[in-house]
Copies of this chain bind each other. A is one copy, B any other.
Amino acid sequence: METTSVSISRSPLTNREYPLPVNGNDKKGIDTFISLHPGKKVVVVQGLGFVGSVMGLVVANALTEEYAVIGIDLPTSSSFWKICSINEGVFPVIASDPKISVYYQNALQKKNYYATYDPYAFSKADVIIVDINLDVKKQSSFHNDVEDYDVDLLPFKKAINSIGKNCKQDVLVLVETTVPPGTCQKIVRPALEESLSQRGLSTEFLKVGHSYERVMPGPKYIDSIQNFYRVFAGTDEKSADATEIFLRTVIKTDEYPLTKLGNTNATEMAKVLENSYRAMNIAFMVEWSRFAEEASVDLYEVVNAIRMRPTHKNIMLPGLGVGGYCLTKDPLLASWARMNLFGSEERLNQSEKGVHINDKMPLYAFEFLQTQYTGSLKGKKVLLLGVSYLNDVGDTRYTPVESFYDCLEAEGGEIAIHDPHVLYWEEKDTWVNQDLDQMLQTDYDLIAITTGHREYRNNSKLIEKLLAKPRLFVYDTIGVLTNEEIKLLSEKHVVKVIGRGDL
């Protein structure tokens, strides 16, 4: 799938290619950058992904202090272009939040956001924010059909060691990565102390804190970091205090007060617990969706009625599945930690089960289609509306549409895809058409709505166009169509909706 050589990193934004540095260093670049900001504290953000790159932006636009910010990532084909991009004036994340561009322009003007691959940067840091990934490997190439999984801490430990080998002895290391509970106390702090000792430095002044972000890519990207509640803790009192002081300079804590917890196990648990809760609430609805289909019930109207109760406002709707980086793995991180870091013989069974149920949702959606669609799907023209896992956002990480797509492809369907927010579907290495009108000039046998984007909701022009088509199968996997639209479409087409029995 990857066509560029491994020694090249290509920007999907500009298509520019960057040769990877070989045995190089960026000492000069870093020193020059720091010399531009005398007297300012240096904050290094480790990891330039969805969280780190934007976190760097927020720190460069801190509220009550001026920082010199360095973003650091590995010089790999998938990351190196981001480093170059930041330094060349092109922010490496596309987002609908206009604040991103405002903040980036500010940083460019102040010249206080630099990016590098050289761990030498850690030696200059007063604060290091850890925003790298910590992944769960599900034991199958087909990521949506597995009951077993593993947590590989090695890349994370390597990243922490890279800090320990370079950092000052009195640095504050603030871990924001979603980690297995226990990680800061049992892994990060001991590893850093060991490195410091090996370097002949004191471990007494080291500060390790944990505070998790609640980043939501989308129109409120920046606000989801800067204007939202934060939970934090330290591995000791000194670390907690340093973490609090730093966070207060960056986050609007007058409106969104900080919550301090007793230890880092607690903050780490809070993060995976809140995501497990959400994952479980989604999983809980899966069997009710089946029941509704069997009992001629429209589960969407039922859920909306239940949501009138303030205590039940967050009950979930039926759907195609769960995507994104958090809900698909965080419960597993927690369960893994319970057994591997705290020696329990019990898993978090319920929470694991939630992930497994959610992973199978797109498979159910496909099976349901097979029972409803007359004849084979082989050679049938299929249009998928939406590949993002989230409404009104272009984020395809672990999107459930992928499994659904794979099933359709395996059956021989000829699949076209549309998504107004996705230019390029990285995981499938394919370009996505964004012009719905153009796509609807073709006739299809099956049109499936697979993301709940605004463009597909209450769109009378879309309904009109569908009605002008020859008889086809309309499959709404997420309850986007209204009762009136279903009624209209059903006069000509076959319409099936997940979680809604034939009334």
Q: Is A344 an interface residue (CB 8 A)?
A: yes
Are A291 and B348 neighbours in the complex by a CB distance under 8 Å?
yes
| A298 touching B266 in the complex, CB below 8 Å, given contacts A261-B305, A291-B334 | yes
The contact of A273 among B286, B302, B357, by CB within 8 Å, is B302
| A308 touching B259 in the complex, CB below 8 Å, given contacts A266-B302, A287-B351, A346-B290 | yes
Contacts of A229 in B (CB 8 A): 308-309
Contact with B along A446-462 (1 / 0, CB 8 A): 00000000000000000
Contacts of A488 in B (CB 8 A): none
Closest B-chain residue to A294, C-beta based?
B342
Copies in the complex: 2
Are B344 and A302 neighbours in the complex by a CB distance under 8 Å?
no
Contacts of A292 in B (CB 8 A): 269
Contacts of A315 in B (CB 8 A): 273-274, 277
Contact with B along A280-297 (1 / 0, CB 8 A): 110110111011101111
The contact of A269 among B261, B291, B309, B342, by CB within 8 Å, is B291
Are A266 and B301 neighbours in the complex by a CB distance under 8 Å?
yes
Q: Classify the secondary structure of A's interface with B.
A: helix
Are B311 and A278 neighbours in the complex by a CB distance under 8 Å?
yes
Q: Is A314 an interface residue (CB 8 A)?
A: yes
Contacts of A468 in B (CB 8 A): none
Give the contacts of A315-374 with B (CB-CB under 8 A). Answer: 315, 334, 338, 342-344, 346, 348-351, 353, 357
Are A274 and B312 neighbours in the complex by a CB distance under 8 Å?
yes
Are B265 and A309 neighbours in the complex by a CB distance under 8 Å?
no
Are A288 and B312 neighbours in the complex by a CB distance under 8 Å?
no
Are B344 and A296 neighbours in the complex by a CB distance under 8 Å?
no
Q: Is A432 an interface residue (CB 8 A)?
A: no
Are A269 and B287 neighbours in the complex by a CB distance under 8 Å?
no
Are A262 and B314 neighbours in the complex by a CB distance under 8 Å?
no
| A338 touching B302 in the complex, CB below 8 Å, given contacts A314-B311, A315-B274 | no
The contact of A301 among B261, B277, B294, B296, by CB within 8 Å, is B261
Min CB distance, A361 to chain B, in Å? Answer: 13
| A315-B351 Cα distance, complex, nearest whole Å | 14
Are A344 and B306 neighbours in the complex by a CB distance under 8 Å?
no
Are A262 and B181 neighbours in the complex by a CB distance under 8 Å?
no
Are B314 and A274 neighbours in the complex by a CB distance under 8 Å?
no
Contacts of A278 in B (CB 8 A): 311-312
Q: Is A270 an interface residue (CB 8 A)?
A: yes
The contact of A350 among B309, B313, B357, by CB within 8 Å, is B357
| A301-B260 Cα distance, complex, nearest whole Å | 9
| A422-B71 Cα distance, complex, nearest whole Å | 63
Q: Is A263 an interface residue (CB 8 A)?
A: yes
Contacts of A248 in B (CB 8 A): none
The contact of A298 among B262, B291, B306, by CB within 8 Å, is B262
Contacts of A295 in B (CB 8 A): 181-182, 265, 269, 338, 342
22 chain-A/chain-B pairs, Cβ below 8 angstroms: A181-B291, A214-B309, A229-B308, A259-B308, A261-B301, A262-B301, A265-B297, A266-B297, A266-B301, A269-B288, A269-B302, A277-B315, A281-B281, A284-B351, A287-B346, A287-B351, A291-B334, A291-B338, A294-B343, A295-B342, A314-B314, A350-B357
Interface contacts beyond A269-B295, A277-B315, A290-B346: sample of 14 additional A-B pairs, CB < 8 Å, sorted by A = A181-B291, A229-B308, A261-B301, A261-B305, A266-B298, A269-B299, A270-B306, A273-B315, A276-B288, A277-B306, A278-B312, A288-B348, A291-B344, A313-B313
